[in-house]
Structure 1
């Protein structure tokens, strides 16, 4: 399970083989360490004991820290769990050969197909109820599919040769995608268009907070697969920039976060705001929905697995692909 801590003044400690959560010096939760996968903390007023940290490390529990908007700013995991030199050597060398191109195109291919499938999923419920909207969505889908086909024709010697072309395709498809999302949510919520950092509207705030939670799930999977999160292919290098996280997350934004956010809006669920941020109760409820979605089983490569398991398996496939031991195909969700 994932433990989500958002209350100011919470304390995490250890008692025997259990993690304890205290509020106002009273124990409010006890969880066996062997039942935990991840701890997410999104309040600066939370404290942890060193014996709790040590026990989390021993059990491979990832501790993640988010700010009020959901942006990750730190993680705790033992470096001794992920000391795989061979994988990282190959990861670095792949930047200058066809492996880097293959991965960059695969990540974007997964993103574009998942954007299409999210629109198809929500459009099918409008076919009878709102034929005009259904046809508008499919008109957009037609153009998205046309632009997405260009991805196959992009070729080069290394990722630096073709990054601009890939991102051009991604951008054109993405512009139409968000226009179609705006149509799907029209009249239910104000959506000024996709905004990242600093967004103060409820829709973008939900997206950004959800991506923050997913970001930590993606980072954990990559680290446990022995990969360097700062060495990506599609996203350019910059000190402190988790380029491989931003690459790999593209496959999973739509099936994990976008689908949940659009469903919340369409169901008319209240989205509470505290100034320019989601309020505490909304964040807690939304995080629970994201974790539930990560536990949802999808069919992929001949078997059904939870999305969080697919994320971890895909991270391992990146590593085996880089070492020349397997092929890499992007995850595409069903609709």
Structure 2
């Protein structure tokens, strides 16, 4: 199933028969290879409709321009009368992410997406999710939500929050080790520092185990203290992996003008849509979290579950792209259109990649959905919940 990302102003989405139609001035179509499947990122701005394949190794391999012929092996239909239009078969679309203002879509398309379980997610240009459209009948469950709300006031909420923090710290340590191993010969001092920082973070995992309480309200402050200390240590390690000319001093969240922070924030926004959709498919309430406090408009459970996937999905993709020399550029404090497309491609390519999980090979996007269902089972039936661990 393909992911379609709309990242430019003036695009129109509609439905024609059983196909998704994308209209906009000079659309650019990119197919990014993620194993046997392909996903798509669409935008405008190319001089003519082009097709670019990005392999898992990173380099772009240009292909000939689209021609007026039959659909290709992936069902992509080249323009017929206008170079401003591209069509895709709906059965190959898994989600549509709209990351730009000025994008319009038809009611027929919304209905077709709801019927087929295709998520429609909306992001600001900085990557902050602000809406998601889906049919409520796809997750018309009650028991899971009842147990989720009840767990806030008993030990289940504490155990889940502890698992989230332990999993996040484990993945932070693993990511520093992952990038550090490539520096063991070329830069021993940095390798040694990264190793020491990873060990310090691992100590926080042991501290987490000793935190207890009758409910999450009694345990949250201690858990956030451990998480905060580990976070400062982790970002100190990340700073060693980022070229000094990019000016990455520390982790900043929304509104950060630094290009690295902006790229991370945009990548996290894409990850949020994946996790949010998985949570809804599992019959969970996105706004009733445990580690993150409740606040109107804050999808606390989404933020909880995102924690175990930040490092293996977004941080690894962005740091690796920078390490390959990919330009991360901003204009007036915002990522440029080309950079947003680059970051989206890197993050989606990582989401489509396969990893070892519970003794089998799965795509990361499948692991996200499996974990959402495991979380629902934990809340309903008391099954243990183990976070996804990034293998370095």
User: TM-score normalised to the size of structure 2?
Assistant: 0.84
Is 2:155 the counterpart of 1:98? yes
Q: 2:13 is matched with which residue?
A: 12
Q: Give the CA deviation at 1:328.
A: 1.1
Given candidates 289, 295, 303, the residue that maps to 2:352 is 295
How far does the alpha carbon of each residue in 1:70-108 deviate from its partner, in whole angstroms, 9 at most, with x for none?
A: 111111111111111000000000001111111111111
Matches within 5 A, 1:41-52: 41-52=98-109
Q: 1:218 is matched with which residue?
A: 275
Distance 1:148 1:166 in 2: 10
Q: 1:183 is matched with which residue?
A: 240
Given candidates 251, 255, 264, the residue that maps to 1:194 is 251
What runs of 5+ residues in structure 2 fail to find an aligned partner?
Answer: 26-81
Alpha carbons 1:13, 1:52 under 8 Å: kept: yes
Q: Give the CA deviation at 1:27.
A: 4.8
Q: 2:335 is matched with which residue?
A: 278
Q: Give the CA deviation at 1:284.
A: 1.1
Distance 2:384 2:201 in 1: 26
Partner secondary structure for residue 84 of structure 1: coil
Partner secondary structure for residue 183 of structure 2: coil
Q: 1:152 is matched with which residue?
A: 209
What runs of 5+ residues in structure 1 fail to find an aligned partner?
Answer: none
Alpha carbons 1:107, 1:248 under 8 Å: kept: yes
User: TM-score normalised to the size of structure 1?
Assistant: 0.98
Alpha carbons 1:18, 1:30 under 8 Å: kept: yes
* Number of equivalent positions: 335
Partner secondary structure for residue 14 of structure 1: strand
How far does the alpha carbon of each residue in 1:164-219 deviate from its partner, in whole angstroms, 9 at most, with x for none?
A: 01011101111000001111214352102000011001100000000000011110
Is 2:107 the counterpart of 1:107? no
Matches within 5 A, 1:244-259: 244-259=301-316
Partner secondary structure for residue 4 of structure 1: strand
Q: Give the CA deviation at 1:274.
A: 2.0
Q: 2:75 is matched with which residue?
A: none
Is 2:40 the counterpart of 1:39? no
Distance 1:300 1:98 in 2: 27
Q: 2:376 is matched with which residue?
A: 319
